Amino acid sequence: MRVLVVEDARALADLVAEGLRDQGMAVDVAYDGLEAAAKLDVNGYEVVVLDRDLPGLHGDTLCQMITEHDERPTVLMLTAADTPADRVGGLGLGADDYLVKPFHFPELVLRVRALARRRPYAKARLLRAAGVELDPVRRSATRDGHRLDLSVKEFEVLSALLRATPGFLSAEALLEQVWDEHADPFTNTVAVTIGRLRRKLGSPPLITTVPTIGYRIADPDAQPGA
């Protein structure tokens, strides 16, 4: 899951971003509305955590811009404005949820995950292929009924590969989906994570690699051409 945190209080923005990254999310940060608008034009996000009172471009305007798109991220307004009128106004602008500062961080995480699931084109809850079953909500994964003990990034890589099945995902696509804008495009972190994931998935191998194309989940029991 890729999230954009838009918050002009830098310490809070960085704290929220780091906490969400600890939960396995790929998180970018924008400290004003104009920077956020530029990142929304370039990157695909599932959820935007949006402060309302922003410099450069007000959060209300940015929220309206986001809601004009068909395949848009869901928006969680995160603000100190806590009257009923403030909530009604924020939701009336197209925000999907509204959380008042100060907030309880576990609640923020639950709301972000819930918003990702509420997107009208969100994928099915359970992901299955080649004997692997992954539940993004419960954060659990099994192969042939046996639980897989995966790190946060291994879980997200497996999730991305399952969503793409039967197609391929390039290393660049995995970097974009699982890591964030600070990931070094020349790093070998994708290959290293794929290697660890292969070992944990066990035999027969499930992840195949085609040079210059990428990685995919392949059913070892499938017949050629099937």
Residue whose pair of structure tokens reads 């070094």 in the numeric block: 184
Which residues constitute the domain of residue 104? 2-118
- What confidence score (pLDDT) does residue 209 get? 92
Q: Which of 118, 147, 162 is the last residue in one of the domains?
A: 118
Side-chain-facing half-sphere of 109: CA atoms under 13 Å: 15
Residue whose pair of structure tokens reads 């603000």 in the numeric block: 79
- What confidence score (pLDDT) does residue 214 get? 92
- What confidence score (pLDDT) does residue 30 get? 96
Element (H, E) at 88: helix 84-92
- pLDDT, averaged in runs of 10, over the chain (226 residues): 93 94 90 94 90 91 85 87 68 85 92 82 70 86 94 91 90 84 75 94 92 87 51
In a domain, 87, yes or no: yes
Neighbours of 53 (CB within 10 A): 12
Sign of CA dihedral 157, 168, 189, 113: negative
- What confidence score (pLDDT) does residue 51 get? 93
Element (H, E) at 4: strand 2-6
Q: Which of 101, 118, 135 is the last residue in one of the domains?
A: 118
Asked if residues 132 and 158 have their Cβ atoms less than 8 Å apart, the reply is: yes
Cα distance between residue 152 and residue 154, in whole Å? 6
Considering the domain architecture, whether residues 82 and 174 belong to the same structural domain is answered as no
Can you give the CATH number for the domain in which 151 is found?
1.10.10.10
Considering the domain architecture, whether residues 106 and 7 belong to the same structural domain is answered as yes
The residues pairing with 127 across neighbouring beta strands, listed in sequence order, are: 134
Q: Which of 78, 94, 118 is the last residue in one of the domains?
A: 118
- What confidence score (pLDDT) does residue 34 get? 95
Q: Quote the pTM value.
A: 0.64
Cα distance between residue 87 and residue 85, in whole Å? 5
Considering the domain architecture, whether residues 78 and 177 belong to the same structural domain is answered as no
